[in-house]
Amino acid sequence: MIHFAKWKAIAVLVIVLAGIIFASPNLVSRDDADMLPAWLPHRQINLGLDLRGGSHLLFQVDTEAVARERLDSVVDAVRDALRNEKIRYQDLGIDDKTVTVTILDREQEKEAVRLLGQVDRDLSLADEGGGRLRLTLSAQALRERQQSAIEQSLEIIRRRIDETGTREPTIQRQGADRILVQLPGIDDPERVKALIGKTAKMTFHIVDDGANAAEALAGRPPPGTVVLPLVEQRSGRAQPENIVVRRRIIVSGENLIDAQPTFQQGDPVVSFRFDSIGAKRFGDATSQNTGKALAIVLDGQVISAPRIREPILGGSGIISGSFTPQEAHDLALLLRAGALPAPLEVLEERTVGPGLGSDSIAAGERAGIVGAILVVVFTLVAYGTFGAIACLALIVNGILLIAAMSLLQATLTLPGIAGIVLTVGMAVDGNVLIFEHIREELRSGRTPVSAIDSGFTRALTTIVDSNLTTLFAAILLFIFGSGPVRGFAVTLGIGIVTSMFTAITFTRLIVLMWFKRTRPREMAI
């Protein structure tokens, strides 16, 4: 006699009921689902870029800039070390991914070698003779720095996109130094590029009031300084003004813990706040340089250069620069999310309209409906009452598939729809195997009870083996594939799991309930 434990029957019915509950939010609009109480299921299937429309951007991380920045920091460290010990030098600079310097006093050369050997453990020091020293960054250290920059870029891009409130973004690494960003529902790629692609590296420097910017541009700027453009939004200037600032960074954006857009005297500004370390540095610098101008530098441009009238000891301040409200909001967002460790270059840009997505959904729905109708007709004609049970199992399979994708927040793409259509056909495979075995047992003269029991038992191994091989293929497609291939693998994998559940447990339960209710002496299938 077919046996189905009571606890198993309850578990199957609970799973089916849970599937109905978690799939039900997809029957209402996204806005209505968001209005449901927090304790009720409200997650819906996420639609991918090809179905919902939006922006597709492929960025490349400028890893060469990471190397240049590291070498610039080495130059600053060498300059400070030699100046502190009053060692005379010249020609300090970068030469083909190395840092070179010439020591003028030969008697100080040994001391210089000792000092520079302690600057950075990742540097190798070579004495080329004539007082010329060369510091080379190891290849391993450079690779680690570049890999770290790519990982940091991924995290910062994710933070920036989350700040904008974009839902279900796709942010993933592609290849060695590329980052793929897909933003469903976003049809303004220019603002997205401006937010994601801006490095947003903010630093504070003291302005060198004694230096002449025009003379510095024409010749060499004073040692330890750099000429930067002063950009004033809507200032009416034909060309930005240039000012000379000291290279030494007083405090950087890394010490910021908050930045918010606000208004000061009716003008949009950005208020910022440092952590304890940044507040101390900022307070010390403003105390020691009262009366001088403080340059706020963002991505190599001075956005504001206010005069320090008194020490700023509270660790907070205001950035003004004739911003629009939107510009102030975006700048605050960028500062909160953090600076990119390296510039990003846009390699590919696409905008998918919602019309194309709706056409794809309609085509997928038509394909799914036609496929389901054909399967239902075939099973009803071929297996009669058992075919009706298979159709019920097919409906439950679809509900569980939708519930699982909603609960896991899986993204449905156009290839994913193809996976669902394929699952519709595969979902009845297990039932067909079971019914054919039952039919064979009946033909051999067994009783209905014995035929049903033997049919389920004999088909179990075949069902598990056939579905597991397909499931392994779906897992491999997900691991090694990308984009559309992954979308197909997700729906196929979830569909296989739900179809195995409905074939092995749900169908068995329904057949048992039908048999106990009807008690047929003869059974046609």
Could you give the domains of the chain?
Answer: 6-53+355-518 (1.20.1640.10), 64-142 (3.30.1240.20), 202-320 (3.30.1360.200)
Query: What is the amino acid identity at position 261?
Result: P
Check residue 17 and give its pLDDT: 93
What pLDDT, on the 0 to 100 scale, is given for residue 234?
41
| Mean pLDDT, residues 56-76 taken together | 83
57-67 residues labelled b (16+ CB within 10 A) or e (exposed): bbbbbbbebbb
Helix, strand, coil abundance in the chain, percent, nearest 5: 55, 20, 25
Question: Does 238 score more than 50 pLDDT?
Answer: no
- Reading the block at residue 430, the tokens are 């297990």
The pLDDT of 36-56, averaged and rounded, is 77
What is the distance between the alpha carbons of residues 306 and 296, in angstroms, rounded to a whole number?
8
Condensed to tens digits (0 to 9), the pLDDT of residues 139-171 reads 888 788 888 888 888 888 888 887 776 666 788
Euclidean distance between CA atoms 312 and 333, whole angstroms? 24
Reported confidence tier of residue 2, pLDDT bands at 50, 70, 90 = low
What confidence tens digit (pLDDT) does each residue in 86-127 have? Answer: 888 888 888 877 888 888 887 888 888 888 877 777 778 888
Q: Quick check: 312 and 282 in contact, CB under 8 A?
A: yes
pLDDT, tens digit, for every residue of 327-373? 888 888 888 877 788 888 888 887 776 555 567 667 767 877 887 78
Q: What angle do CA 405, 407, 411 make, to 5 degrees?
A: 40
- Measured on CA atoms in the order 32, 34, 36, 41, is the torsion positive or negative? positive
Percent of the residues in the chain that have a pLDDT greater than 90, as a whole number: 5
Quick one: tokens of 272?
A: 């910022």
Which residues, in sequence order, are CB contacts of 491 under 8 Å at separation 6+?
A: 401, 405, 410, 412, 416, 417, 419, 420, 423
Asked which of 48-57, 73-82, 503-512 is least confident by mean pLDDT, the reply is: 48-57
Q: What single string gives the DSSP state of each residue in 228-284?
A: EEE--TT---SS-EEEEEESS-SEEGGGEEEEEEEEETTEEEEEEEE-HHHHHHHHH
Cβ(416)–Cβ(490) below 8 Å = yes
CB-count burial class (<10 Å; 0-12, 13-18, 19+) for 446: middle
Q: Are strands 411-412 and 46-47 parallel, antiparallel or unpaired?
A: parallel
Residue 158 identity: R
Residue spans of beta strands (DSSP E) within 95-199: 98-103, 123-129, 132-137, 170-174, 178-184
For residues 119 and 122, what is the distance between their CA atoms, to the nearest angstrom?
Answer: 9
pLDDT of residue 239 exceeding 60? no
